[in-house]
C-alpha cells in the first residue's frame, strides 16, 4: 500500500523526500474501524512553494483521491519545501 501511495505522489510532484509511517495496527481494535489504512506522511517538495498549508494538503488529497475512504481511512500530512525541511532538521 505504501508503495502505491508513493508512486501516486511521485507521479504528480517532484519529490525531494517522502516518508510514510503505517499506523494501521494501532487502530484495528477500535470499534469504529472499518478498514483502510492509517498513515502519517512527510512529503518534501519545492512544488509546494507559494502554496498555503491547506492548498498543499488539498493537492495531496487530490492525488490520492481514488484511495481515500477505501485503502486510506486516515491521513496525517506534513508538507514542506526543501528549505522548510532543512530548517526543521537543524532545529532537532
> How is the chain split into domains, by residue range?
2-91
What 3-state class would DSSP assign to 64? coil
Q: The domain 2-91 is classified under which CATH number: 3.30.300.90, 2.70.98.10, 3.30.160.340, 3.20.20.150?
A: 3.30.300.90
pLDDT value, residue 33: 47
Q: Tell me which DSSP letter residue 62 carries.
A: H
pLDDT given at position 7: 94
pLDDT at 37: 79
Distance (Å, rounded) from C-alpha 47 to C-alpha 77?
15
State the pLDDT at residue 2: 87
Give pLDDT, residue 35. Answer: 62
Q: What is the pLDDT of residues 54-64, one digit of tens each?
A: 999 999 999 99
pLDDT at 34: 58
Which stretches in the chain have pLDDT values below 50? 31, 33
- Does the pTM of the predicted model rise above 0.95? no
Amino acid at each position: 500500500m505504501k508503495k502505491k501511495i508513493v508512486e501516486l505522489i511521485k507521479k504528480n510532484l517532484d519529490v525531494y523526500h517522502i516518508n510514510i509511517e503505517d499506523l494501521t495496527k494501532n487502530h484495528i481494535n477500535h470499534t469504529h474501524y472499518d478498514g483502510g489504512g492509517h498513515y502519517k506522511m512527510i512529503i518534501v517538495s519545492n512544488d509546494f512553494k507559494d502554496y498555503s498549508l491547506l492548498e498543499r494538503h488539498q493537492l495531496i488529497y487530490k492525488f490520492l483521491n481514488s484511495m481515500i475512504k477505501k485503502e486510506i481511512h486516515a491521513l496525517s500530512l506534513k508538507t514542506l519545501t526543501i528549505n522548510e525541511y532543512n530548517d526543521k532538521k537543524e532545529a532537532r
